[in-house]
Amino acid sequence: MDIQFITIKKVTLNNNCPECYCIGGLSLTFKQKFINSKLYKSISSEIKHEIVCKNCNSTIYPVQWTDDIDRVFEYQRKAFIPKTTSTYLKKTAWIIISFVIAILFAAILALILPNL
């Protein structure tokens, strides 16, 4: 099973970096969890976010956030529209399902019409 967090939205923040104090280097990324297995493909509602400074190449963790970053993050989080969650069954899954249904059907037929 392949689980990936795919970037859905990236915003540049006009805040000072808590590490190097430069302005305009911070970028906030929203990522959503995608699952790709043998039987199905699915978009989950699980969202990850991350703030990275392009200037000093460091990840800015929530504990380091200033009040300004907190405010901008809250705003961006509310404005963020995640992809609708969905699950698509793959061909293999449909084959298994059809097979199970066929067996059940045969079993029911055998019960109803034992002389057949």
Nearest approach, Cβ of 27 to Zn ion (angstroms)? 11
Does residue 23 touch Zn ion according to CB under 5 A? no
Nearest approach, Cβ of 23 to Zn ion (angstroms)? 10
- If phi > 0 it is left, if psi is from -120 to 50 it is alpha, else beta; for residue 43 that is beta
Does residue 16 touch Zn ion according to CB under 5 A? no
Supply φ then ψ for residue 79, to 5 degrees. Answer: -80, -15
Q: Which is nearer to Zn ion, 20 or 107 (CB)?
A: 20
Nearest approach, Cβ of 52 to Zn ion (angstroms)? 9
String of contacts with Zn ion for each residue 56-95, x by CB under 5 A: x---------------------------------------
Instruction: Identify the residue among 8, 11, 19, 80 touching Zn ion (CB under 5 A).
Output: 19
Does residue 17 touch Zn ion according to CB under 5 A? yes
Q: Give the whole-angstrom CA distance, residue 34 versus residue 63.
A: 27
| DSSP structure class, residue 90 | -
DSSP string computed for 30-82: EEEEEEE-SSEEEEEEEEEEEEEETTTTEEE-GGG--HHHHHHHHHHHHH--P
Binding residues for Zn ion, rule: CB under 5 A, are 17, 19-20, 53, 55-56
